[in-house]
């Protein structure tokens, strides 16, 4: 199909939660019902040109130019991103940048390593400075440095956040609860005021407006710039800000990546759990951790994130499906295994108590 999805907005606000559920209920009531055909005229407008002009007006490029590989995954952002990055003066190697809603090459999800294998290969083959991957609607970004190393959302937030803090010392930033502790420690040490917040791009965007934060990020690759932009998650503009940063210095992205704190963590682990049990299971895990003397701190902003000597672990209810989400981080593989095993035991015990 020519179009296979759309986003709903109310002005500049995102519809989510109860609001979008209510709209779904209203639409379902109309399915199959007779009614008048729409009579209001349809208008086709060029948005790519004005978007590029707005981005160009905000970007402050340095003198270094280099080669960038762009993998749009046959999603909606390809033509726009290629055009903008070329206008900025970079040599762009397009990969899967034609629109094709059947996604014949790979699913456009830059958080899955398997979807980045072609990008990594072409970056190395072309001796490019970096590779940028976009998801289907281009609100998320994935980044690969010149060595083929993948930079995940929290690592990208560190690099972009440090640059922003040089321009706006003391700025407020937001990072979701799944982000590495290194994200918070590094950006706070750089002079930022970093708040840990709930998972979900709509919730993050709302929190930025409430607090006046200039930058936010999620592990999923949603990066939000309210500094010289509009405060929404925009993978194309985020890529442009990364190009801007790199153009101002001879320090390559690979060199910046090598300076990132070394941490050992799990990927996002998903555990099947019925929707009507999720919150109760998380509550059971929280109760168990509160009485555990090994716990040095607990954050309850979204599920439970418990700190231990040498690491932390998170258990939360997914916003999008009948699963629990778990993530752990530690100073060593052995400590990581201990924290993961502890959380898995608490989850199993809580599930069992509910089933009984």
Q: What is the pLDDT of residues 302-317, one digit of tens each?
A: 999 999 999 999 999 9
7 pLDDT higher than 50: yes
How would DSSP label each residue in 44-73? ----HHHHHHHHHHH----S---EEEEE-T
Taking all residues of the chain, what is their mean pLDDT, rounded to a whole number? 94
Confidence of residue 3 (pLDDT cuts 50, 70, 90): low
For strand 172-176 and strand 215-217, is the pairing parallel, antiparallel, or unpaired? Answer: parallel
Q: What is the mean pLDDT of residues 26-49?
A: 80
Q: Render pLDDT for 238-261 as a digit per residue (tens, 0 to 9).
A: 999 999 999 999 999 999 999 999
Helix or strand holding residue 312 (H, E): strand 311-317
What percent of the chain is predicted at pLDDT more than 70? 97
What is the rounded end-to-end Cα distance, in angstroms, of the chain?
A: 48
**DSSP sequence for 324-349:** EEEEEEESSHHHHHHHHHHHHHHHHH
Strand ranges of the sheet holding 215-217, from the earlier edge strand across to the other edge: 193-197, 172-176, 215-217, 223-225
pLDDT at 19: 81
- Give the Cβ contact number of residue 262 at 10 Å: 7
Q: Is 314 helix (H, G, I), strand (E, B) or coil?
A: strand
Residues 6+ apart with CB under 8 A from 61: 88, 89, 243, 244, 247, 248
pLDDT score recorded for residue 2 = 52
Q: pLDDT band for 1, please (50, 70, 90 cuts).
A: very low
Q: Has residue 356 got a pLDDT over 70?
A: no
Q: Which of 36-40, 67-71, 129-133, 242-246 has the lowest mean pLDDT?
A: 36-40
Asked if pLDDT for residue 101 goes beyond 60, the answer is yes
pLDDT above 90 for 41? no
Which residue do the tokens 């289907």 mark?
136
Predicted confidence at residue 4, as pLDDT, reads 60
Convert the pLDDT of each residue in 122-166 to its tens digit. 999 999 999 999 999 999 999 999 999 999 999 999 999 999 999
Mean pLDDT of 26-40: 76
Q: Which domains does the chain have, with CATH numbers?
A: 54-258 (3.40.120.10), 264-355 (3.30.310.50)
**287 or 8: whose pLDDT is higher?**
287
pLDDT at position 354: 83
pLDDT digits (tens, 9 = 90+) for 195-224: 999 999 889 999 999 999 999 999 999 999
Which tops the pLDDT comparison, 194 or 27? 194
């Amino acid at each position: 199909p020519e179009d296979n999805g759309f986003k709903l907005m109310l002005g500049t606000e995102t519809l989510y939660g109860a609001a979008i559920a209510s709209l779904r209920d209203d639409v379902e009531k109309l399915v199959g019902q007779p009614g008048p055909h729409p009579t209001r005229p349809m208008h086709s407008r060029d948005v790519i040109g004005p978007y590029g002009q707005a981005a160009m007006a905000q970007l402050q490029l340095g003198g270094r130019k280099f080669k960038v590989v762009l993998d749009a995954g046959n999603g909606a952002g390809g033509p726009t991103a290629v055009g903008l990055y070329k206008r900025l003066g970079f040599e762009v190697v397009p990969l899967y940048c034609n629109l094709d809603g059947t996604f014949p090459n790979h699913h456009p999800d830059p958080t899955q390593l398997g979807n980045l294998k072609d990008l990594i290969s072409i970056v190395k083959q072309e001796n490019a400075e970096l590779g940028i991957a976009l998801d289907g609607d281009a609100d998320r970004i994935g980044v690969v440095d010149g060595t083929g190393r993948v930079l995940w959302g929290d690592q990208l937030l560190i690099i972009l956040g440090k640059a922003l803090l040089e321009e706006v010392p003391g700025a407020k930033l937001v990072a979701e609860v799944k982000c590495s502790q290194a994200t918070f420690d590094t950006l706070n040490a750089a002079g930022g005021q970093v708040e840990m917040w709930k998972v979900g791009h709509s919730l993050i965007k709302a929190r930025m407006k409430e607090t006046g934060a200039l930058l936010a990020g999620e592990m999923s690759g949603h990066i939000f710039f309210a500094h010289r932009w509009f405060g929404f998650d925009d993978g194309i503009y985020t890529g442009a800000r990364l190009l801007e940063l790199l153009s101002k210095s001879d320090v390559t992205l690979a060199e910046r990546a090598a300076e990132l704190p070394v941490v050992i963590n799990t990927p996002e682990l998903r555990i099947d759990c019925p929707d009507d049990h999720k919150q109760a299971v998380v509550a059971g895990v929280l109760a168990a951790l509160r009485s555990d003397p090994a716990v040095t701190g607990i954050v309850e902003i979204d599920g439970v994130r418990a700190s231990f000597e040498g690491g932390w672990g998170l258990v939360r209810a997914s916003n999008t499906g009948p699963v629990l989400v778990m993530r752990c981080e530690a100073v060593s593989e052995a400590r990581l295994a201990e924290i993961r095993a502890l959380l898995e035991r608490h989850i199993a015990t809580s599930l069992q108590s509910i089933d009984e």
